[in-house]
Structure 1
Amino acid sequence: MKTEIVKWIFRLVASGILLQTLFFKFSGAEESIYIFSTLGIEPYGRIGSGIAELLVAILILIPATTWIGALGGIGIMTGAIASHLFVLGIEVKNDGGLLFSLAVITLSCCLVLLYFDRKKLFNLLNLR
């Protein structure tokens, strides 16, 4: 019972962050345009990553597919963190490192969720 509550907390945190950032990506907020222009993938990267994040957030919220969403979230957030570390910097447009922090929190939640559902992943890979 307690484990299920903990899983739901991690699901809601990860999905909440992913869903919250969609507004900025899909509305063409100045900060989002700046980020994806700096990365050289505006507007397709912005819209594409928004669609991917929406799909991942939905998968995380469905208990049977949480592990798939967590894998996708790990991939997306690893890319976001790498972009911050190697191209954008920790702080983007004087945000105090907020976007970077949100990416780290989301990655951490996805890693914990994948750990909870590791048996599903291991079964897929025929591991024990």
Structure 2
Amino acid sequence: MSWLKKHGHWLLTLYVAFVFIQSLFFKFTGSPETVYIFQVKLDPWAASLGFPGLFAPGGIFSAKVVGSVELIASVLLLAGAAISTQRAVQVLGAALGLGVISGAIFFHLFTPLGVAVVNADGSSDGGELFMLACGVWLSCALLLWLRRALWLGWLARLRGR
């Protein structure tokens, strides 16, 4: 149990970094899956709400922007886990990861994207992307809980205590 308490953050960090980093190829190369998710499913939905181009290439939530945030979160998480004196960096990575993956979960649940993504060819991922996102959300939340003394101290200083 003491090993898990001392090194468990590595398991959480490696899971988040693995999920984020393995998806970068898709987001940065304009793969058909990514184009389908961002440009075929999400951008028309955003346009119907009055926000055309939000998910299109060059949009504020384009695949490359989301991928860049995931890459930054991964680097911060890994650096903070590797250097014990840099736990604050891990907190920032976990917070950034939690934010970006909360957006992903929102879009799976409340847009035409759906929990089980149906691709352009009619195949379904069976909910795999959604389940990975939930695992990342839980891992980031647990990392923030493990490092709560650090960020709660920041909040206390911000409030002038």
TM-score normalised by structure 2 residue count: 0.76
Deviations 1:68-93 (A, max 9, x none): 11111111111000000011100112
Deviations 1:86-112 (A, max 9, x none): 111001121111110110000110000
Q: Distance in 2 between matches of 1:57 and 1:125?
A: 24
SS in 2 for 1:62: helix
| Ranges of 4+ aligned residues in structure 1 off by more than 2 Å | none
Structure 2: gaps of 5 or more residues: 44-54, 81-85
In structure 1, the partner of 2:18 is: 16
Q: Percent identity?
A: 36
The answer to whether the 8 Å contact 1:14/1:109 transfers is yes
One-letter code of the match for 1:123? G
Residue 42 of structure 1 and its aligned partner are, at CA, apart by 2.0
What SS is found at the alignment partner of 2:156? Answer: coil
Alignment of 1:1-128 (within 5 A): 2=3, 3-37=5-39, 38-40=41-43, 41-44=55-58, 45-63=62-80, 64=86, 65-87=89-111, 88-92=113-117, 93=119, 94-126=124-156
User: In the aligned structure 2, how far is the partner of 1:118 from the partner of 1:56?
Assistant: 18
Distance in 2 (CA, whole Å) between partners of 1:4 and 1:27 is 38
- Alpha-carbon RMSD across the aligned residues, in angstroms, is 1.4
Please say if residues 19 and 54 of structure 1, whose CA atoms lie closer than 8 Å, have aligned partners that are also in contact. yes
Q: How many residues align?
A: 128
The separation in 2 between residues aligned to 1:36 and 1:10, in whole angstroms, is 27
Q: Which has the higher contact order (CA 8 A, sep 6+)?
A: 1
Structure 1 SS opposite 2:64: helix
Output the TM-score relative to the length of structure 1.
0.94
Structure 1 segments unaligned to the other structure (5+ residues): none
What is the alpha-carbon distance in structure 2 between the residues aligned to residue 57 and residue 103 of structure 1? Answer: 14
